[in-house]
Amino acid sequence: MQPLQLNSSGADVVRLQEKLKALGFNPGKIDGDFGTGTEAAVIAFQRSEGLLADGIVGLKTLRALGFEPTPEAVAADSVLPQITVGVVSRMFPLTPLDNIKKHLPFVLDALKKQDLTDRNMVLMALSTIRAETASFKPIDEGKSRFNTSPGGKPFDLYDNRRDLGNQGPPDGDRFKGRGFIQLTGRSNYQSIGRELGVDLIGNPALANKPDVAAAILALFLKRKERQIKEALLENDLRQARKLVNGGSHGLAEFTAAFRIGESLLPVKPVQLVVSVT
């Protein structure tokens, strides 16, 4: 059947309505029609559970309600099989194909491990790479007037950045931006490294290893998944970019890649077959 959302109807909607009512989120008449009352109840439930409040009963909402999607439903929700070198090369029009061929598998594997396989989060990841390193390979941050003082040592303006957890020289250079997402600052290296089981404090250069760089990207996005999805729900690419970068650096490149990706991956109905547990 079609995804459970506004204007859906049938026996599964009846089950949904009964479940919502039992949980204290009254959808109104139990009639098998997913109308505005059911949508409002779904949104209230999603907010209560800390889920994206979009009114659509997707995989995470189904599971939170106690319904287990079938493997076919899970597979249908993922766009990873559609993310080919050809698709990515159109999002990265100036990038050498060899770079995409080499590094794309690491990125897709990391996104799968973090359960970031839906269209918006995959496009978010790829567009972030386009904004941070258009070469589609993990790189060191370059020197600029924002990180290096006139005549100073490289990245000396980062040395005492308390907001980054830096503790003075040589932290600026040691924990400069690296990888697909340009991980920056002692505190980020420490927390991300600890969660991934990688010693990024002892060996910061590991952040440029393709598998580690991809894992860092996916974990960073996972931490902000809900906020990113809320921004994308409002079609606010500037806010989505800010959640990762902290500003608007690379916004034009990010937006261009995202819009191209949207055109190449049109929204398709997701066939959800629901089993009641």
Q: pLDDT value at position 70?
A: 72
Whole-number Å distance between alpha carbons of 204 and 32: 56
What tens digit of pLDDT does each residue of 174-223 get? 999 999 999 999 999 999 999 999 999 999 999 999 999 999 999 999 99
Q: pLDDT value at position 175?
A: 98
Average pLDDT, the chain: 92
pLDDT at 274 over 70: no
pLDDT at 126 over 90: yes
Q: pLDDT value at position 243?
A: 95
Q: What percent of the chain has pLDDT over 70?
A: 95
Enumerate the domain spans of the chain: 11-69, 79-138+214-264, 141-204
Q: pLDDT value at position 268?
A: 59
The CATH class that applies to domain 141-204 reads alpha beta
- 11-69 has which fold? Muramoyl-pentapeptide Carboxypeptidase; domain 1 (1.10.101)
pLDDT at 275 over 70: no
Asked if 11-69 and 141-204 have one fold, the answer is no
What tens digit of pLDDT does each residue of 43-94 get? 999 999 988 899 989 888 999 999 988 777 777 778 999 999 999 999 999 9
CA angle 53–56–61, rounded 5-degree value: 75
pTM: predicted TM-score of the whole model, two decimal places = 0.83
Taking alpha carbons only, the member of 182, 147, 154 closest to residue 170 is 154
Could you write out the DSSP letters of every residue in 73-114?
A: HHHHH--GGG--HHHHHHHSTTS-HHHHHHHHHHHHHHHHHT
Whole-number Å distance between alpha carbons of 11 and 107: 39
Q: How far is CA 164 from CA 172, 185, 227, in A?
A: 9, 5, 21
